[in-house]
Amino acid sequence: MHRLTRRPTGRLVRLPRPALGSPLQILLLACSFALAGYAGLRLLDGEWFEIVLWFVGAAILHDLVLVPLYGAADRALLRGFEAADRRSWMPYVRVPAALSLLLLLVWFPLITSRVADRYAGVTGMSTDTFLARWLLITAVLFGSSAVLLVLRRRRGGPVRNRP
């Protein structure tokens, strides 16, 4: 049903009721919260202080150090492309760089072999291949982005300089 409200002009207007979702959506949401709570309790069952410290440290490091670095690098890259009058090329560098940095951030301990002994003890495998694979994935990302840029420029596609 709708609610009626009066506009400043004196005219009555119907406002829609806010949608709360179907009972199935509410049940699924409640189940997902219960599952997340259970996983959190299981995660914090052992060395809870170290885990909480890691989460807080990661949040602080990301928000106070890495986000300003991301922004500064992006602004510098944008200025460089604007100086070369190639601002439309920016997404072809941003997307592979963001994906590559995300992979580096997630797999940093293995790429840098900081946890080589622990990883080898648990899995029986070496961390020697992680750096080479990350570099190969990065090269493929930037290479495919360059190929896409060249193809779009040849076809006269959506790549054009904006004012």
**CA distance linking residue 16 with residue 14, whole number of Å:** 7
**What's residue 119's pLDDT?**
84
**What's residue 159's pLDDT?**
52
Percent of the chain with pLDDT over 70: 86
Write the CA distances from 68 to 62, 73, 82, 90, 148, integer angstroms: 9, 9, 21, 19, 30
Residue 137 neighbours by CB under 8 Å, 6+ apart: 100, 103
Kindly indicate the confidence band of residue 157, based on its pLDDT and cuts at 50, 70 and 90.
Answer: low
Residue 92 neighbours by CB under 8 Å, 6+ apart: 145, 146, 148, 149
**What's residue 76's pLDDT?**
93
Query: 43-101: per-residue pLDDT in tens?
Result: 777 777 877 887 888 889 888 998 899 899 999 999 998 998 888 889 999 999 999 99
Put simply, whether the predicted model's pTM sits higher than 0.95 gets the answer: no
Nearest to 66 by CA among 36, 99, 96, 102: 102
